[in-house]
Amino acid sequence: MRTSFLVLADFHANNYKRNRYDYSAEVYSVADKIHQIAEKERNFTQGEVNAISTGDIVDHSKKSREQYTKVYNQLRYLIKPFDKFYLTFGNHEVTYSKDNPIYAFMTDIQNEPFASLYKKVRPEGLWNEVLTPERISMNGTDILLYSWKTSPKLIQPHGIIVMHDDLISDNALAQNAMFVKGRYNVATQGITHIFSGHVHTVVEEWDYRGAKVYNLGSLLRTSVSEVEDDYRTRYIPILRFDEEGCFSEVVLEQFKLHQRKDIVDEVAYQKSREKTRESMQRKKLTEEINSLQVISMFGDDNPLDIVMETVTDEAVRNLIQDIRRSL
């Protein structure tokens, strides 16, 4: 029987996001697009169709039972059409190890290096609906699951890596210096393909030490700053294996995310930005005034008067008056 693996970039399931009309609807919309690709693949190959997540499948922990259940249901819906669903642990699975609905889908951590490194992770499921091995061994090929800060070794002659860590091209590094600190050093001997999640805003294909790298970005855009209409295309790589379990090819499916106007509440977003700006401005002014107060101990000038003499912006003057009243 032929076997296929859909590689799914970071999913970031969540029931709510600020400044969005309905983030949960975005989650289900992306899941539907994934399901359509899975159904198309099953009809084409008439074989087993599995999925491998690059990690960060849940955005945050959920202490509220109601919110926890909503995200749990999102995950239940996502994994429904697949014969097997594999997880590469991301940093969110580590940071939000408590009250994280993904752990309700497993009874144990099969990836021993990850389990040894992160002992606080506690699965709480009744059976393993989401599988977490460090490798998937096919006929002559290892699919290595590089969970957060772990890197299993290649055993078979041919390998494919699915990872949650930064592996960034020189082109992406040149465009954004913040990626430099996270560049990951990957051993590529015997490796032909690398599929990388974690970095939300990089979607590209490039060559690295003889291996073909696919940066898959994030399937859900967690920040409003990521929601740009010229950055809507997402790719779902499919790893195909023949009837004998031998690797045959990589096929790239794609879909487009919603336009910004359909999902971002711009009025709420601008109000939020203004509130943040005022808060930062207030903090800066308070620091400056506190500094002037120290200086004024040696003179008769009121530090607020000194500041007011140099300010013409009415909003800033009002902020200073608010600070004056709070002192």
Residue numbers in the chain where pLDDT is lower than 50: 297-298
Q: Can you give the pLDDT at residue 144?
A: 96
First to last CA, the chain: 75
Q: Helices 314-326 and 266-296: crossing angle, nearest 10°?
A: 60
CA dihedral sign of residues 298, 299, 304, 306: negative
pTM of the model: 0.84
Residues 248-291: tens digit of each pLDDT: 999 999 999 999 999 999 999 888 778 877 777 777 777 766 66
Q: Can you give the pLDDT at residue 53?
A: 98
Q: Can you give the pLDDT at residue 201?
A: 87
Nearest Cα neighbor of 88 from 167, 186, 198 is: 198
Q: Does the domain made of 3-263 have the CATH classification 3.60.21.10?
A: yes
Q: Can you give the pLDDT at residue 275?
A: 80
Nearest Cα neighbor of 324 from 305, 301, 296, 297 is: 305
Distance from CA of residue 34 to its chain's centroid? Answer: 17
Residues 157-173: tens digit of each pLDDT: 999 999 998 888 888 88
Q: Rounded to the nearest 5 degrees, what angle is found at the Cα of 263, between the Cα atoms of 61 and 96?
A: 10
Nearest Cα neighbor of 13 from 50, 80, 60, 53 is: 60
Cα–Cα distance for residue pair 148/132, rounded to 1 Å: 12
Q: Can you give the pLDDT at residue 312?
A: 59
> Where do the domains of the chain lie?
3-263, 266-326
Q: Can you give the pLDDT at residue 298?
A: 44
